[in-house]
Amino acid sequence: MESVLSYDYATLETMLRSFLWPLFRISGMFMSMVIIGSAIISPQKRLILAVVVTMVVVPVLPAMPTVELIGVEAFIISVHQVIIGVAIGFVSRLVFETFIVGGQIVAMSAGLGFAQINDPSSGVTVPAVGQFFLMIATLLFLALDGHLFMFEIIVNSFTTLPVTKNGMPIVGIFELLSFAGSMFSAGLMMALAAVISLLMVNLSFGILTKVAPSLNIFAIGFPIILSFGLLILWFTLGGFLSHFDNQYTSGKSVMCSIAVMECANG
């Protein structure tokens, strides 16, 4: 008895083509973005999430190019889709690394660098202040629906940046490199007020050493600097939201440039 469901090779190839290339781009973003792409999420869970999201969005995506799946051109297209997804997800990681760098600068200046903690997302040991800033940035990112914005970017990118062998635009590449270079300067700007304040405290102890050489400056200086460091860290949190808003807005702009789409402000 002949089966009711019968597919020829051309139909199966069309179905695979419409599923695999979106899967490569979406899974590339999930592999490199924050939270989902961290080490606390297993690769199996990321793959399942990428497959589920791809199955949901495939019906609304534009038609994929008619290219033989087994061939050099199909391989080039697949590599470009992974690169585009990884680039969009990597921008969000750069946004978060800014606050880790800023937290490390504050910790080293305030004498809090000895307080180390294991970062579960990367598996390395980092100063506790940097991890504290990272947790605040994560909560703000989720509160502002940053993950949903990235889902929207990756889905709309199939319309603004169709699946072809051309790959990511040159403008998006330059903006990504420029944003990566500005990560350290943004982290320093966030910690600059704390660094200057702690420098003034250390200069005051230097003057005190010259005025009263008999004082054991190491015995009384460290607890005072540590206390000032905690106080300055508390004041630094007051401007954390503005720094996060600037970096988050810049990151959204870079993502939109990579996806060749207009990005609404706010």
* DSSP output for the chain: ---S----HHHHHHHHHHHHHHHHHHHHHHHHSTTTTSTTS-HHHHHHHHHHHHHHHGGGSPPPP---SSSHHHHHHHHHHHHHHHHHHHHHHHHHHHHHHHHHHHHHHTT-TT-EEE-TTT-SEEEHHHHHHHHHHHHHHHHTTHHHHHHHHHHHHHHHS-SSSS-S-HHHHHHHHHHHHHHHHHHHHHHHHHHHHHHHHHHHHHHHHHH-TTS-HHHHHHHHHHHHHHHHHHHHGGGHHHHHHHHHHHHHHHHHHHTT------
Residue 2: φ, ψ to 5° = -75, 135
Across the range 227-244, mean pLDDT stands at 84
Residue 264 lies in a domain: no
Cβ pair 159, 259 in contact under 8 A: no
Q: How confident is the model at residue 87 (pLDDT cuts 50, 70, 90)?
A: very high
Amino acid 201: pLDDT: 80
Residue 46, Cβ density class (10 Å: 0-12 exposed, 13-18 middle, ≥19 buried): middle
Q: Any residues with CB less than 8 A from the CB of 208 and at least 6 apart, and which? A: 215, 217
pLDDT of residue 1: 42
Residues 50-54: what's their mean pLDDT? 92
Residue 205 has pLDDT above 80, yes or no: no
183 lies in which domain range?
A: 9-258
244-255 pLDDT per residue, tens: 999 999 999 999
Mean pLDDT of the chain: 83
- pLDDT tens by residue, 140-166: 999 998 899 999 999 999 988 888 878
Question: Which pLDDT value is given to residue 139?
Answer: 92
Residue 77 lies in a domain: yes
**Over the stretch 105-134, which tens digit does the pLDDT of each residue have?**
888 877 776 667 766 666 667 778 888 888
Could you give the number of structural domains in the chain? 1
**263 located within any domain:** no
Residue 44 located in a structural domain: yes
The reported pLDDT for the residue numbered 84 is 92
Q: Does 4 map to a domain?
A: no
Q: Is 178 inside a domain boundary?
A: yes
* 1 is a domain residue: no
